[in-house]
A and B are shown apart, each in its own frame.
Chain A
Amino acid sequence: MRRGYGAHPAHLVLLLAGLLLAVMAGSELLAERPRDVGLWFAGAAVLHDAAFVPVYLAADALLVALWRRRPGRVPWLNFVRIPLAVSGILLVVYAAEILRLSDGAFAHKTGRSDAGYVGHWLGVSAALAAIAAVWYAVRWRATRPRPD
């Protein structure tokens, strides 16, 4: 069993039980508009690895390359990298609002416009950048070489 299957029989029982539950839920999930829902599900499975990863790895590689050219006395890389990353995460979570994708439904449902969210996002990102800048300045001062 172990040689043919590649793991302990309990592994097979666990996997089959789990996949049975997934098939039960999946059959209801796909009961209406199976093509569209299936596409959404498959898209969800690859969204991070195929869409997000190439973008953020390339951006990060670029940032690291820039930093290596002028690393600074106090390395500045993570003081830029972290606020940028958090800003990107905010955009991912609240993309529908910030990019106003709801096609008017936001205003209909809330009675308010979603036009302000791009500004809010930029404002929060700027605040994060300011915190990082202050932190960096403190580090800079704390590690200043003494004249003597």
Chain B
Amino acid sequence: MHAYRGDVTETLRERLKPGNRWPVGDPPPGPFRPGFWRSPIRGPWLTAVLGAILLVGLPIMFVTGLLSYLAYNPGLPGNDTKGPGDLLTFVLFDWPTNPYWLYRFTQGLHVTLGVVLVPVLLAKLWSVIPKLFEWPPVRSPAHALERLSLFVLVGGGIFTFATGLLNIQYWYTIPGSFYRLHYYGAWVFTAGVVVHVALKFPTMRRSLRDRRLREELTVDLAHTEPESYIEHGLASPAPAAPTISRRGALGLVGAGSATLFVATAGQTIGGAFRRVSLLAPRGGYAVGDGPNDFAVNISAADARVDLAAAGGRWRLEVAGDRPGVAASFSRADLLALPQHTAHLPIACVEGWAVPNQRWEGVRLRDLARLAGVDDPGSVYVESLQQEGQFSRGRLAGNQIAHPDSLLALRVNGADLSLDHGYPARIIVPNNPGVRNTKWVHRLTFERRS
């Protein structure tokens, strides 16, 4: 026993001496042998093409994702959706109110692109499978670190994509807050991507230069040749006869992405396209033509709205920074104040959107003035809903000041329905959907500090 352990230590010490090679042996049979992987189209070129697509797509995912985090104004107290994590928390700027459709665009892009990239991601993983079974598993300390970074890359990537996909389908099985897991998972993924791109960019460029895309797309199955085998490379040492050309494989990925686009994007773009997007969580159906027939993120029943409090006795409390209630309004009182109309969409973090609706109500800045705060830095909005993370939250000064920012009472010429926030709801240009708080019962305007 002791002799054995000593033996191993001795061998390792010998092998770890500078200049000596890491232990090398014959790989066990099966996937660890390079000859096990026989696809003739697997090789640096196909991997490079898929990598190049991801190299364009993933930065867009990162930027639009970070924008979505910032859109909630995480710098305002209580607003940070991912919870009180300190690391990797940035508040770069106040989220703008112009253009009013920006969040609809960036978040629709984020979710739709994420869905559309899945086939590319899967194909990329397929294209590098032999690397998982490399033998010996670790050739040097450098190789060990690199493999660790690949664990970060692949684990972080699938984790981030999976949490996003599960969230838009309302399968809340993930272990914790979606915002938190998706945010920090994406940072782990980003770390993996940055290292991987830095290491592999030269290889990608060389592979793309060796075999021009335009020429490769003219090569049919009969003329498909395997790439040459290099030790620890991707190409097979014993390629099988091809059953699909490289352009055919890229066509498969493209067909997957195109189908996913058509099946998904309608929930963001809206109109007739919504009906065509048969697999979108908010698509594949026709929206009714009643004034309150557009989609909701959460119904009054699920938000556990206190129906008695939302009924005839409802009053809106508007407070300033002085203690106590500055003013209290019935719905009739509010309707007697100057009314303003705004045409604004509702865009959800889940990627779907409701196109512009005609909202009528009282400007938030008018209510601030009634509370005695002329230039508010923020407003604390409280809802009658008893369920959910977004029953209360803050809007920033620039959002209050915008002339289209309303406490809406009516939509499309009718009273708000209960599910759309009756008696009164917030609607602010370019605001994430859940921040357009429904069933509002108190607004506390806070002075700039």
Contacts and interface: CB of A to CB of B under 8 A. Distances in A.
B195 A14 contact: yes
Interface string B8-21: 00000000001100
B296 interface: yes
Interface stretch (B158-166, B223-231, B314-322, B423-431): B158-166
A98 B278 CA distance: 11
Contacts of B142: 5-7, 11-12, 15
Contacts of B176: 32-33, 36-37
Contact of B259 (A15, A37, A124): A124
Interface string B111-123: 0000100110010
A78 to B, nearest CB: 6
Dominant SS among interface residues on chain B: helix
A102 B171 contact: yes
A136 interface: no
B172 A5 contact: no
Interface string A52-91: 1100000000001001000000010110011001100110
A44 to B, nearest CB: 4
Interface in B383-406: none
A129 to B, nearest CB: 12
A12 B18 CA distance: 16
Nearest to B282: A110
- Which A-B residue pairs are the 4 nearest by beta carbons? A6-B140, A45-B155, A25-B187, A36-B175
Interface of B: 18-19, 83, 85-88, 115, 118-119, 122, 125-126, 129, 132, 139-143, 145-146, 148-149, 151-152, 154-159, 162, 165-166, 169-176, 180-181, 184-185, 187-188, 190-192, 194-195, 198-199, 221, 243-244, 248, 251-252, 255-256, 259-260, 263, 278-279, 281-282, 284-285, 295-299, 302, 419
13 contacts: A3-B19, A14-B198, A18-B152, A18-B192, A22-B149, A53-B126, A78-B248, A82-B251, A94-B263, A96-B170, A101-B173, A121-B279, A128-B259
Interface of A: 3-7, 11-12, 14-16, 18-19, 21-22, 24-29, 31-33, 36-37, 39-42, 44-45, 47-49, 52-53, 64, 67, 75, 77-78, 81-82, 85-86, 89-90, 92-94, 96-98, 101-103, 105-106, 108-112, 116-117, 120-121, 123-124, 128
